Structure formats: structure tokens, C-alpha cells
Structure 1
Amino acid sequence: MATFLGIDVGTSSVKAVLLDEEQTVIAEGSSPIEVLRPRPLWSEQDPDEWWRAAQIAVSQVRASAPQDFLRLEGIGLSGQQHSATLLDRHGSVLRPAILWNDGRCGKECAELIERVPNFLQRASNTTMPGFTAPKLLWVARHQPEIFAATAKVLLPKDYLRYRLTGDYVSDMSDSAGTLWLDIGRRTWDDILLQAGGMTRAQMPDLVEGSEVSAYLSKDVAALWGLADKRIAIAGGGGDNASSAVGIGAVGSGDGFLSLGTSGVLFVSTDRLVSLPERTLHGFCHALPQRWHGMVVALSAASALSWLGTVTFQAHDIVGLIKKAENFASDAGRREAAPLFLPYLTGERTPHNDPNATAKFDGLRAEHDVGALAYAVLEGVAFALADGLDVLKAANAAPRSCMLVGGGSRSAYWNALLADVLGLSLDLPEGAEIGAAFGAARLGMLAAGAGTVEAVCRKPAIRACFEPDAERTTVLAKRRERYLGMYRA
């Protein structure tokens, strides 16, 4: 029986998962990677760390299931979007990759719009420091010698592909986050490229996420003990599009809520949806002739991790959530809880403000760590409700919504999110695997192991969280106060 490998280059780790033809998870691996913050607003990573971590994650999979690994026939790749990896003409990395949550290039965002008067309509998205194009303008201005030497710009998963195959290729869903793609036509846009001083020659080739992009190189195949095999590598997808493939959110109106480093509300569509003035991301899906709308809160599970660090409880996030639940079990205390604005790294939807900051409001002497933890969980939920409002305005609200990401392990947080959003939220089996599982499915499709309908089926539901009308009403009143915090 053939097997299929999915690799996801996340912000905090690289994950790998091995599936069989029935999509049973045979083995998993993971290796952490470090985010570098050498200056305020900066967020960078060493691309060689992605490669190192991927080798460790795959070696864990191989060690766990050596015989199954030998039956590998397809690989899919997923990764954090937007992050700019600059290579010279020899394929060597020129500088640390500038990540999606880097906030240094606000000036360059405005400059792009000045250079292309219809930029928002042409790109189907607004400019923001997280995207790739303004990062290259920043490099051109502040590190001109590096900009001049840049022969290729790759996204994280595509750098990993380059190391696996020697080929420069990307897919439509990931490339949609660069601000260089004509998203409706699914091809590079020369005018958008020219606005940033870039050319098609500096871009990777484009394929659909379910198509063959390249084949595992002989050197890597030998390193992995697969010397006699020709293994297809799928185009893959951005992390959110891959997560959608992983849970079968591929039909129009299928959605998911991801609680990872950032928080994402995603809905699959059969057309390009666009509302750039309110920071709706209208992107290509990882499958042909499909698109998606997406809204992003930059701090989600990372906000809880931050609180754990500053309260010396980073080793026990589960315990921190339990303290929040205990605090909120008393209705009076819950209604008098502090409010938290979760803009620890700026905010994307709906404000597009890299300089936005986080804060607690309403702190009193009786508030303990549990009160702070509750405020953080609630504040992230309120930020995601802002995004849902934008999807509704674009007539692209999800008709069904699943939960994915590490934060979805908490039943308490899931219930709170359902109450705040007023949505039924389904927790599927395998929700923690997320993008790596979807990448493996794309590897299956590229290897010819089934149709989209057969491979991208929806998983069994582990739990369903229904909004409680009474709690939703109380939380709506607290959210009104929350909305005033940013305006103030």
C-alpha cells in the first residue's frame, strides 16, 4: 500500500505526517524553529533552519514507520505565507527571511499604492507589511546590494521544495499572498511586479496545488533511503489553503477557524471574493478553479503563550486555560472581567495596522492570573468576530465551520468562540494535524491516488460547539466595550 508525506513549514515548527491510501496517519514528526526579532517590528527566520527542521521531522517519521516510508509515492508541501526568502543566482540565501508577522515596511505599502493607482482592485487585496511585495521594496531601499543580487524570491515551503528538488516552483494559493499575482487569472501580474522593481524571471514557476511541481532529487531520495524511486512533489499550498484541503473545506461555503500563532477565519468560494478596503484576503485555493476569502487576527494562540511566559506558566498552558475557566464559572466575575486587546504584533483584519498595540482594560486588585487568562481567550475571540463581520459584508460568511490548529485542543475556548461568533463550530478528528495533513492529501492527488472528491472528503466530527443564546447576548455587550478600545 502506497504512502504519502505532508510537510508544513510553520512559524514555530516544521511538521511532517505520513498517510496511507486510506488516509490513516501512520507517523508524525516535528521540530521547532526560532523566530528572530533583532529590532522592533522585525520578525525573521533563517531558511536553513527550515531545511534542518524538515530533515529532523522526516527522520522522526522514517524512524517511526521505516517500512511504510519505503512505500512513499507522493509528497505535499505547506507553509506560512508571505515570508520573503531571497536567493542569489547560485541559489544561496542572501539574508534571513522576512516573515509574515514582520511590521517594518508600512512606508513601502503606501508607496506601492502610489505607484499603481488601481492597486487594490488589481491585486484584489490591500497592501500590508505582512505581504511579500512591500518587503522587497524595503530591501531595495535599505539593503540595495542584497536587492541587486536577488535572482529568486521564494516562499518558505517553496524554499524547502528547492532544497528537495532543485526546482523553483510555487502554487497559486501561496503566491496569491505576495501581491504580485493576478488572482482571478491565476498568473503573475507584470504591472504589480514592476511596481516593486521585480520581474517574472525572479518568480518561481506556477502550478496548481494538486499538480506535480517537481520530483524528489536523487540526492535527497538517497539520503532518505529511497534511491530507486521517482517521487512526485505536489504544488502544495499556503498553510490555510492546505488546512482547508485537510478538512475537506473545498466546496463553496465550507469554512474553518484556525487557532494557531495567528487566528484565521477561512471560507472556500467558487469565485474570487474581494473587499480589500476592509482587509479581506481574496486568494486562490490550492485546488483548480477554487478561491477563498480569509480574515486574520495576528495574535491567537500566541497571545496565550505570551501570557504564560510573562506569568511564568509557559510550561502549563492547559493549566492556564483551566484557571480562566474557573474564574469565568461565576457569572458576576465574568461580566466584571478585564478586557484584552490582542494586538501584540499589530493587527491585520480589520485595521491593517502594524503599529496597533495590545492592552488590558478594567484591571482591579481582585483580578488574578485566571482573570487575565480569561480576558486573553475572550479578546482573541472578539478579534475573530471582527473578521467574521468582514466576511459577512463580502457575502462570503461560512455556511459550515470547522476548528483546526493547536488552540482547538481546548474545549472551553472552542465553546467561548462559538458564543462570541454566534456560529456552530465542528471539531474534526485530527484537528491538531492541520496543514501537514492537507499537504499530504495534495501529495496524493499529484501522485494520482484519487479524485478531489474522494481524497478531500470531510472527516468525522469529534465534537460540536453550539452558541448559547444567553452567553452570546452578554458577550455582545462586552464586545461593544472592546470595540471602543482600539478607537480610543
Structure 2
Amino acid sequence: MYLGLDLGTSGVKALLIDGDQKVIGSGHGDLDVSRPHSGWSEQDPADWIRAAEEAVGELKAQHGVELAAVKGIGLSGQMHGATLLDERDQVLRPCILWNDTRSHAEAAKLDADPRFRKITGNIVFPGFTAPKLAWVKNNEPAVFDKVRWVLLPKDYLRLWLTGEHMSEMSDSAGTAWLDVAARKWSQELLAATDLEEQQVPSLVEGTEQAGSLRSELASRWGMNDGVAVAGGAGDNAASACGMGTVRPGHAFVSLGTSGVLFAANGSYLPNPESAVHTFCHALPNAWHQMGVILSATDSLNWLSEITGKEASDLTGELGEALKAPTGVTFLPYLSGERTPHNDAAIRGVFAGLGHESSRAVLTQAVVEGVAFAFRDSQHALHQAGTELGRVTAIGGGSRSRYWLKAIATALQIPVDIPADGDFGAAFGAARLGLIAAENADPYEVCIAPATAETIEPDAKVGDAYAHAYERYRALYPAIKGVS
């Protein structure tokens, strides 16, 4: 048996698979996000441990015998978070999360240093870890002076699981401290934020072992001593492992809290000017590119809170057939945007509202706005040298066929829906646990699921979507000056 632990923004998921990669069961623990100021987003790392305990505890209650047979554990996690520990491994402040944009000034200053783009292959985005440390030094110097360790969220869970300060390439590539081509920390970039290499964890590949489960936890969960804990992956690379998106030419679109257009690459292909992320993959000698939008299903969840209707009910009101855009346009920049704008200050907007703009019209505009944001990412990937022939849909939002039809039509490529099953980040993490425990071939383990259905672009509204996208594109520069 093999266990995947996925630390997301809204919860921790524990997924148990057997040697044939059949899902045995899952457990979940909820998490909340604290937003004490505009643009801030934080979590208490103690809540991650509590949620992980709840998730594994649920698995133990339902599948205790199978859990006892676990040989390997893989980790997946939300990327970029700054988890700061002192010399006794005590948390110094709440973790600053991936969608926190307070460090936009620090990010701009670091990005102006040409060494960062040259070494990392990426723009220094405000959500990345390095500018957060610069912000802490500028605004909380007493905290900064006590920092002994900077860990990414999933690697804090690893510390709890194993006692080891370790990380892996895919997650670390999102810090702005990694030499992404060489797959190692850059002492030069760490020094630019007044840190030393001894303050960041040692690195392994995501498929390699990075510690063993502590005896205390093994005993509590009914497991044997010495269970291997894999390096794991950042959430998007883990999802790619779960989807089998590991070979060049394979791609997926993720409709989660944030949105990701992810393409696997067999070589390092940076193009930071396009605002595309170029990161190490979780597998050795592999990389990936992705366009990232900060508010995907979060945009619909926001509308759900405003209207008092469940998100699924809102999309249900749209019906089955894809509608031509109404003239109401939504920019999904509720917490700024990454690809293609790299703008932490921009905020969302509805344009074209009239007396006739019903709740359904607003929902349709939100769905289209997110689809057009993916179109922006597709264009950015094109500029970075990556062409997408088709994508596979994953994430909670992919349950909406209407949304997938909108994405297929906006991108003008087919969208594949995988056969029933759980192929997300937790499944990818479990696969990495299997590979590390058994020294298995990653490409034999990380195969793609069967396709249950393919959604083609809707030719009937293709031209209308193209015109609506041009209107969408024109809005950003129009509101940037007043935002």
C-alpha cells in the first residue's frame, strides 16, 4: 500500500492506493485561510498537522488493515508558502501563502536584478517565496533575525512526519532561489535576500526517498517502522504525475482554486518575459511550463457567496448548450494576476452590466472570464515555444461540463475528460511514494488514465467567443490605470 498526502489551500487529503494503483480510500481535513489585510493570505502550520491527522485518522478508521501495509508515503503541497522556523523548529509567524501579494514591491526589486531571471528562468512573482522573506526582513526584522529554516508548506509536513529538513526540485523551483537548469540552490540568489544555503532544506528528486516515518507516528497509525517518505512534488507537478502528464507534448488544464495550464517538457525552456513559469518536474531530468491564474474556481466561489447560491447551482442555471457571450465581461483578477500580466495590484471587474444582467448572465461572464484567462496562458505558452494540441481537464471545476465547453472553445483545442477515478495531486503523491519505496521506473508508474469523453470546441459560437476574447483583452489596459 502507498499513501499520498496533499496539503492544499482548503484542506489536506490522504489517499491510499495499492500496488496496482487502485484507490483503496481517502480521508480529508479542512483548512481555512486568514486574510487580515487586503492582499494578505496566511495559514497557521499547526492547522496543517491537525488536518493531516484528521485525514489519516479517517483513513485508519475505514481502512486500518490496508493503512498498516503502507510501504511508501508521497507528499504534495501548495507551492511558494514561506514557513519560517527558529533553531528549535518552532514556527515564528503564520505562513505567508502562494496567493499573498503583499511583497509586490520586494518582488519588483528582486526581478529588476537580472540574475534572478537568468538563473531561475522565471519572473520573480510576489507569490514566490524569496520576496516574502525580503518583506519579512523589511517589515518584521525581529522575526527575520530568528529565521533558522525556510520551509515550503509540504516540507513542514515532512518535518513533522520524518524529522528531516528536506525538499525536492519541483516545489523549490517556485521559490526564486533555485537554479532551475542545474537543479540546485543558488547561493548567489539566496544571498540577495540575506539568506544562506544552510537556511533552506537539502534537495532530492521527487521520486527519491527524503526521510522515513517517525516511530511515534508509525505506531499511532498502525504502520511499520521505516516507511519511506518520498521527496514528493509541488501540487501542480504532483497532479501531472497523477495524470501521467510527464512526457513532452502532454498537457492538462486544472480548474482548482487557482487555474493552471500545464505542459510537460523534456528540456529546460525558459522564457520569463511571457510570464510563464518554467519549473523542474518531479521526475529527474524533466521540466515543465505553466501559465497560472490566481482565481479560477475562486471566482465562482466569490459569486456564490455574493448571491447565496451554491456554485454548482449557478453553473446549472446555464443549461447544457454553450451560449454566445452576452456582452458582459468579467476579469477574474480578485487577488491580482500572474500569467500574463504579473500584476499584484490589479483587481477584478464586471464590464457591460445593464438592467437585463441577471444572475445567470453574471455566472456566464465569470465562466467565460476564467476561460479567457486560460486563453491568455495558452498565448504565453506559445510565446515560450510550447504548442498545445489538446489538454486533459482536472480539478473541482472540471465537473462542470459547461465550463469545459467554454474552455475548449476559448482555447480552440479538444479537452479530454479522464475516466472515473481520482487522478489529482494526492494520487500523484501516492505514485511518488510507490516509486521511492520500490525504486520503480517513474514512467512506468506515471501513466495517463483512459479518456472517458472529449469535448470539442463549439463551432457555432466560436466566432462570438473570439470577439468576446478581444473585448476581454482590451479591458486590462483600460482598467490598469485606475485600479
Shared fold (TM-score, shorter chain, > 0.5): yes
Q: What number of residue pairs does the alignment pair up? A: 478
Instruction: Decide which of 147, 150, 156 is 1:150's aligned counterpart.
Output: 147
2:247 is aligned with 1:257? no
Q: 1:374 aligns with which of 364, 372, 376?
A: 364
> Where does residue 55 of structure 1 map in the other structure?
53
Equivalent residue for 2:104?
106
How far apart in 1 are the matches of 2:420 and 2:51? Answer: 22
Q: Which residue of 1 aligns with 2:267?
A: 271
Among 414, 419, 422, the residue aligned to 1:429: 419
Deviates more, 1:120-129 or 1:374-383: 120-129
Please, which runs of 5 or more residues in structure 1 have no aligned partner? Answer: none
Q: Percent same amino acid at aligned positions?
A: 47
Shift of 1:324: 2.6
Query: What secondary structure is seen at the aligned counterpart in 1 of 2:317?
Result: helix
Q: CA RMSD in A?
A: 1.3
8 Å Cα contact 1:151-1:202 kept in structure 2: yes
Residue identity in the other structure for 1:152: W
1:17 lines up with 2:7 in the alignment? no
Moved more, 263-272 or 61-70: 61-70
Equivalent residue number for residue 131 of structure 2: 134
Aligned with 1:83 (options 81, 84, 93): 81
For residues 479 and 209 of structure 1, do their structure 2 counterparts lie closer, same or farther at Cα, with a shift above 3 Å needed? same
Q: How does 1:95-244 map to 2 (within 5 A)?
A: 95-114=93-112, 116-226=113-223, 228-244=224-240
Q: Does the 8 A contact of 1:129 with 1:354 survive in 2?
A: yes
| Unpaired stretches in structure 2, ≥5 consecutive residues | 479-483
Matched, 1:445 2:426: no
Q: CA deviation at 1:431?
A: 6.2
Aligned residues of 2:246 and 2:443 also touching (Cα < 8 A): no
Q: What is the alpha-carbon distance in structure 1 between the residues aligned to residue 147 and residue 219 of structure 2?
A: 31
Counterparts of 1:273 and 1:479 in 2: how far apart (Å)? 28
Aligned to 2:27: 29
CA contact (8 A) 1:173 1:237 kept: yes
Distance 2:296 2:114 in 1: 34
After TM superposition, the structure 1 = structure 2 runs for residues 352-363 of structure 1, keeping only pairs within 5 Å, are 352-363=342-353
* Contact preservation (8 Å) 1:153, 1:204: yes
Q: Which amino acid aligns with 1:307?
A: L
Which of 386, 395, 404 aligns to 1:405? It is 395
Tell me the CA shift for residue 454 of structure 1.
1.9
Question: Which residue, out of 454, 459, 472, partners 1:464?
Answer: 454
Partner Cα distance (1:7, 1:28) in 2? 10
Superposed CA deviations along residues 74-126 of structure 1, whole A, max 9, x for unmatched, are 00000000010000000010000000000101111122134x33321122101
Alignment of 1:310 with 2:300, yes or no, is: no
**CA drift at 1:148:** 0.6
Q: Which amino acid aligns with 1:153?
A: V
Q: Contact conserved, 1:406 with 1:432, CA < 8 A, in 2?
A: no
Is 1:414 the counterpart of 2:410 in the alignment?
no
The aligned counterpart of 1:66 is: 64
Aligned equivalents of 1:31, 1:386: Cα separation in 2: 34
User: For residue 337 of structure 2, what is the aligned residue in structure 1?
Assistant: 347
Please say if residues 340 and 376 of structure 2, whose CA atoms lie closer than 8 Å, have aligned partners that are also in contact.
Answer: yes
Give the 3-state SS of the residue equivalent to 1:325 in structure 2.
coil
Please, what TM-score do these two structures have when normalized by structure 1?
A: 0.96
Q: Is the 8 A contact 2:4 2:75 kept in 1?
A: yes
The CA distance in 2 between the partners of 1:431 and 1:278, in whole Å, is: 34
Say whether the 8 Å CA contact 2:330–2:348 is kept in structure 1.
yes
Q: What displacement does 1:337 show?
A: 4.1
Q: Secondary structure at the match of 2:457?
A: coil
Give, in angstroms, the shift of residue 182 of structure 1.
0.3
1:127 CA displacement: 1.1
Which deviates further from its counterpart, 381-390 or 105-114?
105-114
**Deviation for aligned residue 1:450:** 3.1
Match of 2:481 in 1: none
* Structure-2 separation of matches of 1:430 and 1:183: 35
Query: Which digits, 9 at most, give the CA deviation of each residue in 1:226-253, with x for residues without a partner?
Result: 2x43200000000000000001000011
Give the deviation of 1:398 after TM superposition: 3.0
Q: Is the Cα–Cα contact under 8 Å of residues 337 and 371 in structure 1 kept in the other structure?
A: no
Letter aligned with residue 439 of structure 1: A
What CA deviation, in whole Å up to 9, does each residue of 1:330-386 have, x standing for no partner?
A: x5xx44341101100100000000111101111111121111111000000000100
Matches of 1:335 and 1:168 in 2, distance apart? 50
CA distance in 1, matches of 2:407, 2:200: 39
Match of 1:475 among 448, 459, 465: 465
Assess, with a 3 A threshold, how the Cα gap between structure 1 residues 444 and 103 changes in structure 2: closer, same or farther: same
Residues 405 and 433 in structure 1, CA contact (< 8 A), matched pair in contact too: no
Distance apart, 1:452 and its partner CA: 1.6
Change in Cα spacing, 1:403 to 1:431, as seen in structure 2 (3 Å) is farther
Contact 1:123–1:192 (8 Å) recurs in 2:
no
2:343 maps to amino acid: D
- DSSP 3-state at the match of 2:99: coil
Question: How much has 1:453 moved relative to structure 2?
Answer: 2.5
